[in-house]
Amino acid sequence: MTRQLAQDDAGLTLVELIVTIVVSGIVLALIAITFVNGMVAQRDGVIRDNATGAANVVSRSLTTSVRNATEIRVNDAGTRLDAVFIAADGTPECRAWEVRDGRLAYRSDQTTPLPAADDTWGTLASGVEGTIDGTAVFGWDDSKNLRIGMTITMEGITAPLESGVTAQAVGGGGLTCWD
């Protein structure tokens, strides 16, 4: 006695198999697109956070130092700021910030004026471009009022920094920070 299989028990046809593979491929592609978009959004968020963090560090460094300064000076190009900073104990200090090759460099000294920025200066931020009058980062009115205007760009994400601050300290401790 030979047993004959019913047509329904014969398994999958080639058409059914192809349809299953195509539908599965579409579902997997949608899942992959969603996953990749999430990763890109996370990466962009991290870069934006880094750029904003750098702008916050620069802003805090500049505003704290300038508020506690007796004098400030900005060069003609608006790319360098010098300040006579007075520490909480009354000790004067020369502080300077300079944009060089797209990076904002910083240095301080308690005894002498600071030279032009070089590789020995610390870097506060990279990807810096001035926004005051097109290229200047610092602007001032020949007194104690400073304007700050720059963008900090990291991997295509830009964080703007526009601010102003006034030097408010009195005294000076006799330290000369520029000629």
Please choose, from the candidates 125, 123, 133, the residue with its C-alpha nearest in 3D space to the C-alpha of residue 159: 125
Residue 159 lies in a domain: yes
Residue 179 lies in a domain: no
pLDDT above 70 (res 173): no
**What is the CA 140 to chain-centroid distance, rounded?**
23
Q: Rounded to an integer, what distance in angstroms lies between the CA atom of residue 131 and that of residue 91?
A: 33
pTM score, whole prediction: 0.78
Residue 28 lies in a domain: no
Whether residue 106 contacts residue 61, with contact meaning beta carbons closer than 8 Å, is answered with yes
**What is the CA 25 to chain-centroid distance, rounded?**
41
Residue 15 lies in a domain: no
pLDDT tens-digit readout, 156-172? 999 999 999 999 988 76
Alpha helices in 68-92 (DSSP H): none
Structure tokens of 59?
Answer: 């802003």
Residue 178 lies in a domain: no
Q: Rounded to an integer, what distance in angstroms lies between the CA atom of residue 54 and that of residue 47?
A: 11
Helix (H) or strand (E) holding 17, with range, is helix 14-67
Please choose, from the candidates 129, 127, 88, 86, the residue with its C-alpha nearest in 3D space to the C-alpha of residue 108: 86
Residue 172 lies in a domain: no
Q: How far is the first Cα of the chain from the last one, in angstroms, to the nearest whole number?
A: 114
Q: Rounded to an integer, what distance in angstroms lies between the CA atom of residue 13 and that of residue 34?
A: 32
Residue span of the structural domain in which 95 resides: 39-166
Residue 96 lies in a domain: yes
Radius of gyration (Cα) for the chain, nearest Å? 30
Whether residue 113 contacts residue 97, with contact meaning beta carbons closer than 8 Å, is answered with no
**What is the CA 120 to chain-centroid distance, rounded?**
21
Count the domains in the chain.
1
The mean-pLDDT minimum among 3-12, 39-48, 82-91, 125-134 falls in 3-12
pLDDT above 60 (res 7): no
Q: Rounded to an integer, what distance in angstroms lies between the CA atom of residue 142 and that of residue 71?
A: 10
Residue 34 lies in a domain: no
pLDDT tens-digit readout, 80-129? 999 999 988 888 999 999 999 999 999 999 988 999 999 999 999 999 99
